[in-house]
Structure 1
Amino acid sequence: MPFKHNTSRRHHIEKMKFRVTNWPEYEAGLRHRGSLTLWVTPEALSRWQAPRRKTRGGQHRYSDLAIETTLTLGLVFGLRLRQAEGLLESVLQLMGLALAVPDHTTLSRRARKWQSPNKRHNRQVPPEAPVHVLVDSTGLQVYGAGQWLEEKHGARSRRSWRKLHLALDADSGEIIAHTLTDQDTGDVSQVEPLLDQIGGPIGQFTADGAYDGKPTYDAVIDHSAAAAIVIPPRVNAVEPFDDRPAGQRDQHIAAIGRDGRMKWQVSNGYGKRSLVETAIGRYKSTIGRRLRARSLPVQKTEVAIGCAVLNRMLACARPKSARRKAATA
């Protein structure tokens, strides 16, 4: 049972313990995450120069893939733009490649209009197979004093938080959709933009109670009519009194009233929602809790590259864990 229902006696509940069953492969993958050859790929080097444009305007010297590689390198190793420029320049010199490296002003300018190619590194099933989508959001701090100014001097800062909205594939653990908004944007309003990034059908959509309501159900059904929607209804939610057919939300309300909320969670697989919370924790521990960019367009680029980094890391090393049996007295 969730700890919030056992606050007074949680110290009596033994914590579950797990062991990694594929430790040699997992350890090798963790080491490979720090390899420069993982982030500076032959594909990027072969397509370093930008293709010649046929429309009016100046010619790009570097391709989008070259800009992405440089930004990715800085994001993985926690470097600013100038340091990322210097690291990549030294790597290319050691490789004996006569390639020019984008300077920090070029990186900052090109990041404003960079578009994510929406690569999927860890997809193990055909794209047309229904996916189990997990959705959640979290806050990311923005560069600047922010809350300190407000608390210390009572000054209202325009830069305090951004909200990162994620959609996760429950089977592969891959981030398949994301959006970045200001702190005042509601979670429900981003369901449709997230679903628009998912090309295949949805088998199940799982989210927490913040997404409960007709707009979420309508957005999911419009995308995939056969999708099962698992969202816990509000505590004071009631079944309709008219003769219309019961929808999925009405069925959830009836099941909770009949069997209880805990049994409803188990029977509908609601516990898998913890995987998206784990992905959020992975993002904050690996990429960071604070956005480095200052403008929203560049922040969106930073988040898109951060999600791609996590997907590539997950493809390199993903632990397979098994629960340990409790010791008998």
Structure 2
Amino acid sequence: MTDDHKYLESLIQSADIDKTIEVLADTGYDSNNTYIILENKGIKATIAPPKNTKKAYMQPRSDTINYIKEKGYHVGRNKNKYGRRAIIENTIYRYKSIIGTKLRSRKWDNQNIETQLGCHILNKMTNLGMPQSVKLT
């Protein structure tokens, strides 16, 4: 077993680097090395540091830590719209609950199609069941 941030480079290599403008990650990816990797690739890092983090050496990371110390943890999360990560996590949870945690196909092309079908089904179900919200005045 290893730390999440040690997988970052391989994850970025498997992604479409030309379309990747931001990495939104949990505290497992927080490290000076993560910020170096992302900065070198021109990718914005939105990573919540652990609550007990004292100091950082990379400018964007130290700015985040100092802002949270000054304004508070929740204000820092709101500033960076970190709540988007919870929405993503919830979507993955829904996918696994409805579709399952394993792919049934063995061939890569079939796994790709299976994943796309699962996402299509999840999107359909979400569109059918989402409530209409209105702001009360």
Indicate the TM-score class for this superposition, using the shorter chain for normalisation. 0.7 to 0.9
Deviations 1:109-157 (A, max 9, x none): xxxxxxxxxxxxxxxxxxxxxxxxxxxxxxxxxxxxxxxxxxxxxxxxx
- 1:150-161 matches, within 5 Å, as none
Deviations 1:268-319 (A, max 9, x none): 11011122212311321232134557xxxx4977754443223444666753
- 1:32-43 matches, within 5 Å, as none
Q: What residue identity is the alignment partner of 2:93?
A: G
Compared CA separation, residues 248 and 191, structure 1 to 2 (3 A): same
Unaligned regions of 5+ residues in structure 2, if any? none
Q: What residue identity is the alignment partner of 1:188?
A: H
Deviations 1:37-88 (A, max 9, x none): xxxxxxxxxxxxxxxxxxxxxxxxxxxxxxxxxxxxxxxxxxxxxxxxxxxx
- Which secondary structure state, in structure 2, belongs to the residue aligned with residue 230 of structure 1? strand
Query: How much does 1:212 deviate?
Result: 0.8
- Give, in whole Å, the separation in 1 of the partners of 2:97 and 2:119: 14
Q: What residue identity is the alignment partner of 1:213?
A: S
In structure 2, what is the equivalent of residue 229 of structure 1? Answer: 45
Which deviates further from its counterpart, 270-279 or 311-320?
A: 311-320
Deviations 1:219-270 (A, max 9, x none): 32233x2x32111112221235xxx7x5111001100000000001111110
Indicate whether 1:251 and 2:63 are aligned.
Answer: yes
TM-score after normalising by structure 2: 0.73
Q: What residue identity is the alignment partner of 1:268?
A: N
Unaligned regions of 5+ residues in structure 1, if any? 1-183
**Would you say the 8 A contact 1:283–1:306 is kept in 2?**
no
- Which secondary structure state, in structure 1, belongs to the residue aligned with residue 45 of structure 2? strand
- Give, in whole Å, the separation in 2 of the partners of 1:188 and 1:303: 26
- 1:182-261 matches, within 5 Å, as 184=1, 186-196=3-13, 197-223=15-41, 225=42, 227-240=43-56, 247-261=59-73
**Would you say the 8 A contact 1:191–1:216 is kept in 2?**
yes
- 1:36-55 matches, within 5 Å, as none
Moved over 6 A (4+): 299-302
Q: Which structure features the higher share of helix residues?
A: 2
Indicate whether 1:308 and 2:116 are aligned.
Answer: yes
Compared CA separation, residues 214 and 318, structure 1 to 2 (3 A): same
TM-score after normalising by structure 1: 0.35
Indicate whether 1:323 and 2:133 are aligned.
Answer: yes
- Give, in whole Å, the separation in 2 of the partners of 1:299 and 1:207: 30
Q: Which structure features the higher share of strand residues?
A: 1
**Would you say the 8 A contact 1:287–1:306 is kept in 2?**
no
Compared CA separation, residues 187 and 322, structure 1 to 2 (3 A): farther
C-alpha root-mean-square deviation of aligned residues, in Å?
3.2
Greater relative CO, 1 or 2 (CA 8 Å, sep 6+): 1
Count the aligned residue pairs.
Answer: 134
- Give, in whole Å, the separation in 2 of the partners of 1:289 and 1:236: 33
- Give, in whole Å, the separation in 2 of the partners of 1:314 and 1:239: 41
Q: What residue identity is the alignment partner of 1:259?
A: K
